[in-house]
Amino acid sequence: MNLLDVSTPAALIDENRMLRNIARMQQRAHALGVRLRPHIKTSKCLEVARRQQAAGAAGITVSTLKEAEQFFAGGYPDILYAVSIAPSKLARALALRRQGCALSIVVDSMAAAQAVVDCGRAEAHAFDVMIEIDCDGHRSGVSPEHAELIEIGGLLHRNGARLRGVMTHAGSSYDLDNPQALERLAEQERSRCVRAAERLRAAGLPCAEVSVGSTPTALSAANLRGVTELRAGVYVFFDLVMANVGVCALSEVALSILTTVIGHQAEKGWVIVDAGWMAASRDRGTQRQNIDYGYGAVCDLDCNPIEDFILSGANQEHGIMSRRDGRAPDAIGSAIGCATACATGQAGIVERFPIGTRLRVLPNHACATGAQFPEYQVLTAGDSAPALQTWSRFYGW
C-alpha cells in the first residue's frame, strides 16, 4: 500500500510531523510549569489523542458532548467540555458523570449557573464547574472585573456545585501575525484569567484551576505564572492559518489532502483535481492574512510546496489548482516559447500535471478540513519506510 493506491480525496497524516508537533507543545507546557490538556476537537481521533497522552498530556478538552462520550468510552475520564453548557444538555452531561467520567462543564452567566444548580439539586448531584473568562472580547466569557463573576461563583459554590476554577481562550490570537503582539496577547490571556481567579479567591470562593490557551498564545507566552493548565488544539496538525500567524513552518503541517488530477483548462492555467470544498472544507481562514492560499497550498507527494500553486477555486467535488498570482503557465509558455518556458519552470500544466497525477494539499484550517473525512490515512512514523494505516474519526453531536 502506498500513496498511489489510496482512494482520493483522502486526509493524510504525516505521523513524524505530528509527533514533533506534539513533543513541541508538551515541552512548552513543561517549560512553563503547567499541565497540557489538548483540545481533541481538532482530530476527533483516539489514535491521535493516545500519542498526545503518551507524550505527557493530562486530560483532554472537548467541544461537544459527543466528543466527551466517545473519548470517555475510549479511556479518557478527565474531560473539560469547554463550551458554555446549554440547560438542555445537562442531563447528558450528568449521565456521563454517573458513569464515572470526571467531566467539567463551563458557564459564563447567572442563568446558566442557575440551570446547573437547579439540575444538581433535582438530581442530588454536584457538578464540576469552571467559569469562562473573556480575556480579549473574542467570543464568550464574563469579564474578569465584572461583578457577575463573583455572583456566578457564589451561586455555584453555595448551592451544591463544585467550583473548580476559571478558563479562558484568547481566540483573537488567530488575527495576529507577529511575535511581539502574540506575546502581549498571551500575557493578557494569562493575567486576566489569573485576575479572575484572584477575585474569586478574595471573595472566599474556591478556584483551584486556572486554564488558558490557544495554539498561538501557548507557543508565545513568556511565562504562565498563576496558571495551572494550558489548552491547545490545532498545534497537533498545524495548518496554513497557523503558518501565517507565524507559529509554524509549512514543513510542520502534518495534515494534507491527497488528491488526483482529473482535468485541465490549459489556456487558463487551471488543473482540475478531485478535492473540492467537500474535502478541503469551505474554510477561507487565510483570506485576510499575509498569504491567501485560496482553499489550500498544493504540494508534491513528498509534501513539498510546488512553487505558488494553490487551490484557487473549489466546487463540491472539483478543485481548481492554479498559480496564486493568476498567471497561466501555458499562456506564458506559448508566448515566450516552450524551451524558455520549460527552462524557467513554466512548462505547460497538461504535460507537467497529467491526468492521474497525485498531489497533496495543505489545509487552511486543519480542524475544518479533518472534519470532512470519516478517517485519516496515516504515513506512520519510524525509521523504516513509512507504512499506511487508517485511523477513524467521528463527527456529529
Instruction: Please identify, among the stretches 19-27, 79-87, 179-187, 302-310, the one whose residues bind a second copy according to the rule CB under 8 A.
Output: 79-87
Which of 140, 188, 191, 380 is in the footprint of a second copy by CB under 8 A?
140
Q: How far are the Cα atoms of 209, 241, 363, 368 from residue 177, in angstroms, in the given order?
A: 30, 10, 18, 21
**From CA 314, how far away is CA 31, in angstroms rounded?**
42
Decide if residue 43 touches a second copy (CB under 8 A): no
Is residue 192 a contact point for a second copy (CB under 8 A)? no
**Is 83 a binder of a second copy (CB under 8 A)?**
yes
Instruction: Tell me: does residue 90 bind a second copy (CB under 8 A).
Output: no
> Which of 17, 284, 323, 360 is in the footprint of a second copy by CB under 8 A?
284
Question: Does 278 help bind a second copy (rule: CB under 8 A)?
Answer: yes
| Chain position carrying cell 444538581 | 120
Rounded least distance, CB 112 to a second copy, Å: 6
The verdict on 125 binding a second copy (CB under 8 A) reads no
Q: Is 374 exposed, middle or buried (CB count within 10 Å of its CB: 0-12, 13-18, 19+)?
A: exposed
Report the candidate in 254, 200, 279 with the shortest Cα–Cα distance to residue 18: 254
Tell me if 312 contacts a second copy by CB under 8 A.
no
Q: Choose the binding region for a second copy from 8-16, 25-33, 303-311, 380-388 (rule: CB under 8 A).
A: 8-16
Q: Does 134 bind a second copy (CB under 8 A)?
A: yes
Cβ 298 vs Cβ 378: under 8 Å: no
Strand positions, DSSP E, 17-133 = 35-36, 60-62, 78-84, 102-107, 128-133
CB of 194 to a second copy, least distance (A): 22
Helix, strand, coil shares, percent, the chain, to 5 = 35, 25, 40
CA 346 to chain centre: 36
Q: Does 368 bind a second copy (CB under 8 A)?
A: yes
Q: Is 373 in the site for a second copy (CB under 8 A)?
A: yes
Q: How far apart are CA 84 and CA 82, in angstroms?
A: 7
The one among 115, 119, 247, 362 contacting a second copy by CB under 8 A: 115
Exactly one of 43, 63, 104, 172 binds a second copy (CB under 8 A); that residue is: 63
**DSSP secondary structure letter of residue 162:** E
Size of the site for a second copy (CB under 8 A): 62
Cα 20 to chain centroid, rounded:
16
Interacting residue with a second copy among 7, 100, 326, 385 (CB under 8 A): 7
Question: Checking phi first, is residue 213 left (phi over 0); if not, alpha (psi -120 to 50) or beta?
Answer: left
Site for a second copy, rule CB under 8 A: 4, 7-10, 41, 63-64, 83-89, 92, 108-109, 111-112, 115, 134, 137, 139-140, 171, 260-265, 268, 272, 274, 277-279, 281-284, 313, 315-318, 320, 354-356, 365, 367-368, 371-375, 395-397
